[in-house]
A = this chain, B = another copy of it.
Amino acid sequence: MLFSKTCEYAIRACIYIAQQSGEDKKVAIKEIAKGIDSPEHFIAKILQNLSKKGFINSVKGPNGGFYMDKKNMKTTISDIVLLIDGDSLFTKCVLGLKQCSENKPCPLHNQYKHTRKEIIELFRNSKIGQISEQVDLNETFLKLK
């Protein structure tokens, strides 16, 4: 498993919010939970955190909810992963050595470093705004029926 459950939900939620909302249209927790098929109270906590860190925007009260402004549309998958799971996936030794380095590499280091670089690039190049468009076109999905 690359990501924690929390991180999976966070990414799906961000994409959903980007796709469903606008400055005027907001989406409520309940709708998000349904839209990405996640536990309602759990995603609530995650959204709270994303909001506090400024990754998504929120408004309380009637007609309130979550939305994503232009700036936040540029957030990358990498940004979200770093916020939720930290940089372990990107920097830590795949076999759990205290640190990953070229001097004292683990037996998988030399092959794995290339794959890891690819992973990092992939997530760095994936912007929420652009991804949400694919979902909008029904090319990709955030939950299964």
A interface list, Cβ under 8 A from B: 1-3, 5, 8-9, 11-12, 15, 37, 77, 88-89, 92, 94-99, 104-112, 115, 118-119, 122, 126, 131, 134-135, 140-145
- Indicate whether A99 sits within 8 Å of B140 (C-beta atoms), given known contacts A2-B94, A119-B115, A131-B107: no
How many copies altogether? 2
Hey, which chain B residues are within 8 Å of A1, CB to CB? 1-2, 88-89, 92
Contact with A107, one of B96, B110, B142 (Cβ below 8 angstroms): B142
Kindly state the separation between the CA atoms of A115 and B89 in the bound complex, as whole angstroms.
Answer: 14
- Indicate whether A9 sits within 8 Å of B96 (C-beta atoms), given known contacts A89-B1, A111-B122, A119-B115: yes
